[in-house]
């Protein structure tokens, strides 16, 4: 049985390996609707992350992947970008002890080359500190884009071919998956997008090929564990065939 795909008829939730990915959208809108700066919405959104991570074991999620900052988000104001980067660092430092106690393993995916080296060092530190944890796998996508990830994977594969370490005829889907940022994770079973937007925004373009999608009008700062439970219940009623006939 492939780690990335459940066996026919198998429920990932029952095998304790349900992978839910979330496009966390609506922080800025939530704040603006209340007349507050956008960063207030991002801080409130970080509180929701904490609540959802703690609820994961209860709702049956072992792998939670969150889209926090895309390769396109650099277009936002300097104030907002710097505020978000500071928020990422504060969240990790504040939650490190809790993650250790509660068995949360944290990973950061995305291109770190454009990030401040100090922030990169914090990412390296939290990944090392939580490497032995296995209760919940929290992955946060920062400076991440699905196309960029595939481009980077393609470059790495091309280098191996150039150096004679890889035969082009032997390149398979598994080869590509092994060179992605998510190589240590199963593919997502469910991708949730908040705030009413109906697009995938370049998130897990390769990995989510057979994922189910759920879209909700709820803005991320209002997205509670109870709302996730509601979505998971609806997801549990779907029949997944992975391209096979009914």
Q: Is 206 within any annotated ligand binding site? A: no
Q: Is 70 within any annotated ligand binding site? A: yes
Q: Is 165 within any annotated ligand binding site? A: no
Q: Is 196 within any annotated ligand binding site? A: no
Q: Is 238 within any annotated ligand binding site? A: no
Distance of CA 86 to the CA centre of its chain: 19
For residue 73, indicate whether it is catalytic: yes
The catalytic position among 73, 111, 133, 202 is 73
For residue 222, indicate whether it is catalytic: no
Q: Is 125 within any annotated ligand binding site? A: no
Of 5, 52, 25, 68, which Cα lies nearest the Cα of 211?
5
Q: Is 71 within any annotated ligand binding site? A: yes
Contact yes or no for 115/142 (Cβ under 8 A): yes
Q: Is 202 within any annotated ligand binding site? A: no
Task: Tell me which long-range contacts 45-51 makes (C-beta under 8 A, separation of at least 24).
Answer: 45/220, 45/221, 46/87, 46/91, 47/221, 48/24, 48/220, 48/221, 48/222, 48/223, 48/224, 49/24, 49/91, 50/91, 50/95, 51/224, 51/225
The catalytic position among 4, 11, 25, 97 is 25
Please give the annotated binding residues for Mg(2+), written as ranges.
25, 212
Q: Which residues are catalytic?
A: 25, 73
- List the binding residues for substrate: 26-30, 38, 42, 70-72, 74, 76, 193, 199-201
């Amino acid at each position: 049985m492939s780690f990335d795909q459940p066996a026919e008829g198998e429920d990932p939730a029952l095998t304790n390996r349900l992978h839910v990915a979330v496009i966390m959208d609506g922080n800025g809108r939530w704040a603006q609707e209340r007349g507050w700066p956008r960063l207030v919405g991002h801080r409130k959104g970080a509180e929701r992350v904490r609540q959802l991570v703690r609820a994961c074991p209860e709702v049956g999620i072992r792998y939670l992947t969150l889209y926090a900052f895309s390769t396109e988000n650099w277009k936002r104001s300097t104030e907002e970008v710097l505020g978000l980067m500071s928020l990422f660092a504060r969240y990790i430092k504040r939650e490190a002890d809790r993650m250790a106690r509660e068995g949360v393993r944290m990973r950061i995916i995305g291109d770190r080359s454009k990030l401040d080296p100090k922030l990169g060092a914090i990412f390296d530190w939290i990944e090392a500190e939580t490497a032995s944890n296995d209760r919940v796998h929290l992955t946060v996508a920062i400076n991440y884009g699905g196309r960029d990830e595939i481009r980077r994977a393609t470059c790495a594969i091309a280098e191996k071919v150039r150096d004679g370490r890889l035969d082009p005829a032997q390149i398979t889907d598994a080869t590509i998956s092994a060179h992605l940022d998510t190589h240590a994770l199963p593919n997502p079973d469910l991708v949730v997008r908040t705030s009413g937007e109906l697009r995938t925004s370049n998130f897990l373009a390769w990995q989510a090929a057979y994922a189910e999608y759920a879209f909700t009008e709820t803005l991320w700062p209002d997205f509670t564990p109870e709302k996730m439970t509601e979505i998971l219940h609806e997801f549990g009623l779907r029949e997944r065939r992975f391209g096979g006939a009914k």
